[in-house]
Amino acid sequence: MFKRGDHAVVHRFAMACRAGSAAAIRSLLAPEVIAVSDGGGQVFTAPGPVRGIAQVAECVSAVLGVHPEMALTVEAVNGQPGVVLRAAGRVIAVVSLKVTGAKVAAVWIVLNPDKLRHWV
């Protein structure tokens, strides 16, 4: 269950991604953070879970690095605040976060186009 402070962490995470600031992303991650991405064999992703602050920050920066033609927004993802990345009006990534103690403990990134079809 997300608490009010957790929403603020998600918003700071989104701002760090928009700014392309790996240092800002790292500052929001818990020491035991893990990232899991799903490309469905159609989009390149890490071959397995990514662990640790530096590695997760690099993974997130690579996937969510926002270019001028992309829009990154905070939206409801599975009923909780998450991050959605769009390019040319099409959703290309949906991110769920687990926040623990004002830090991001887990990042789930869906890049699989088949799973993103219902996103508008």
Note the pLDDT tens digit of each residue in 18-65. Answer: 888 889 999 999 999 999 999 988 888 888 999 999 999 999 998 887
Is the pLDDT at 2 greater than 70? The verdict is no
CATH number at residue 50: 3.10.450.50
Please report whether residue 104 resides in a domain: yes
Handedness of CA 119, 57, 74, 36 (dihedral sign): positive
Q: What is the domain count for the chain?
A: 1
Q: Show the domain range for 21.
A: 4-114
Predicted pLDDT at 91: 95
Handedness of CA 39, 28, 54, 14 (dihedral sign): positive
Compute the distance between CA of residue 97 and CA of residue 81 in angstroms, rounded to an integer: 8
Tokens of 10: 């998600």
Q: Report pTM.
A: 0.91
Please report whether residue 119 resides in a domain: no
Stretch 63-88: mean pLDDT:
89
Stretch 84-102: mean pLDDT:
94
DSSP class of 48: S
Is the pLDDT at 5 greater than 80? The verdict is no
Query: Residue 21: beta bridge partners?
Result: none
